[in-house]
Amino acid sequence: MFDIIKKGTNMRITKKDLKNLFYRKPFAKRLSLMLIGVFIMGICVAFMRMCHLGTDPFSAINYGLVKYIPLSFGTLELIFNGILLILVVFNDISRLGWGTLGNMIIVGYTADFVTFLMEKFFGITSLDVLPIRIAVMLAAVFVFVFAAALYINAGLGSSA
């Protein structure tokens, strides 16, 4: 049993609460939706990066840090998410789940992989023509929002 102090109250989380958090039915369907959502979010982050018009706020922080820390975007995002995860555990453990881990691990490494594929097979590291950049950015944002909705509606935990 875990004891968590939240805003001056003592809230006890039992093993049953944790089991319900991770294994509510239909788990396979929800897990599939979450995985599809985070993979698509990673793809969209890679395309947003190629547009050089910005990304979502969390990715922007990590892409900015990549310039100063010699790690891949996926690794840096995993480390940064891990630090935030520790803070969330002490604040509100009920928000954690398989979706938390999926978002921590999959989005950054998927963005790295898509960037690698675009460079390796198409020779594209960034988009240069402004109308194309704007069109790709708008499409990426629209699809990112749809993917985030899949991830959130799966109800398997929030990202850190």
DSSP H or E stretch at residue 13: strand 9-13
- In angstroms, how far is the first alpha carbon of the chain from the final one? 23
Write the burial class of residue 102 (CB in 10 Å: 0-12 exposed, 13-18 middle, 19+ buried): buried
**Digit-coded pLDDT (tens) for 98-157:** 888 888 889 989 999 999 999 888 888 788 889 999 999 999 999 999 999 888 887 777
Residue with tokens 């604040």: 91
pLDDT at 141 (0 to 100): 94
**Digit-coded pLDDT (tens) for 22-34:** 555 687 888 888 8
Q: Residue 147 CA to chain centroid, in angstroms?
A: 10
**Digit-coded pLDDT (tens) for 31-83:** 888 899 999 999 999 999 999 888 888 888 888 888 898 888 889 989 988 88
pLDDT at 5 (0 to 100): 43
Q: What single-letter amino acid sits at 102?
A: G
Cα→Cα distances 148→2, 38, 74, 131, Å: 30, 7, 18, 25
pLDDT at 111 (0 to 100): 92
pTM of the model: 0.77
What DSSP assignment string belongs to 32-83? HHHHHHHHHHHHHHHHHHHHTS---HHHHHHHHHHTTS-S-HHHHHHHHHHH
Residues 87 and 159 sit within 8 Å (Cβ to Cβ): no
Q: Is the pLDDT of residue 1 over 50?
A: no
